[in-house]
């Protein structure tokens, strides 16, 4: 079984995420909204497992937003740098799956990494690789403090 996506209210998406995203873009556009999508992942380490939360945040220009969320858990152990790069990889996976929709419907998209640009923070070790990975895929990139999809939205979804 694949990753289970849900709304912020907790309703499970009934269709595959790509189809739900396309329906959402069409619906929101027909309602007159100009959309921007931000994709990000955050994680939390517990005693013997790591939980990841990936979000697809839909921003309506000057009209708020909403998001789809997916959580995954693993018992695999990671260094801080590995965990940051796994977060980025999860965001890129979904961005890559959806990018043709964003092109088709002319929706701006950014990938947000929960990585600090301040070298004093441990997560900064992964910044260069993450930035190269995201930009190399042709995606717009944001890191902390501008990476709200990962550092705020996904952060709240990691139980």
Question: Longest Cα pair distance anywhere in the chain, in angstroms?
Answer: 47
87: which 2 tokens? 């977060």
For the chain, the domains span: 5-157
What are residue 142's DSSP bridge partners? 112
The verdict on pTM exceeding 0.85 is yes
User: What's the pLDDT tens digit per position in 44-89?
Assistant: 999 899 999 999 999 999 899 999 999 999 999 999 889 999 999 9
CATH of region 5-157: 3.30.420
Q: Which pLDDT score is estimated for 159?
A: 64
């Amino acid at each position: 079984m694949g990753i289970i996506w849900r709304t912020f209210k907790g309703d499970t998406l009934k269709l595959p995420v790509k189809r739900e995203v396309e329906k959402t873009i069409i619906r929101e556009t027909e309602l007159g909204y100009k959309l921007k999508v931000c994709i990000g992942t955050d994680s939390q380490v517990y005693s013997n497992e790591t939980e990841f939360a990936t979000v697809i945040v839909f921003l309506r220009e000057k009209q708020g937003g909403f998001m789809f969320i997916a959580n995954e858990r693993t018992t695999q152990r990671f260094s801080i740098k590995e965990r940051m790069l796994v977060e980025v990889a999860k965001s890129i996976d979904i961005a890559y799956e959806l990018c043709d929709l964003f092109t088709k419907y002319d929706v701006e998209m950014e990938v947000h990494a929960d990585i600090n640009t301040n070298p004093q923070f441990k997560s900064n070790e992964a910044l260069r690789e993450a930035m190269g990975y995201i930009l190399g895929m042709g995606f717009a990139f944001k890191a902390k403090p501008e990476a709200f999809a990962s550092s705020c939205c996904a952060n709240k979804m990691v139980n």
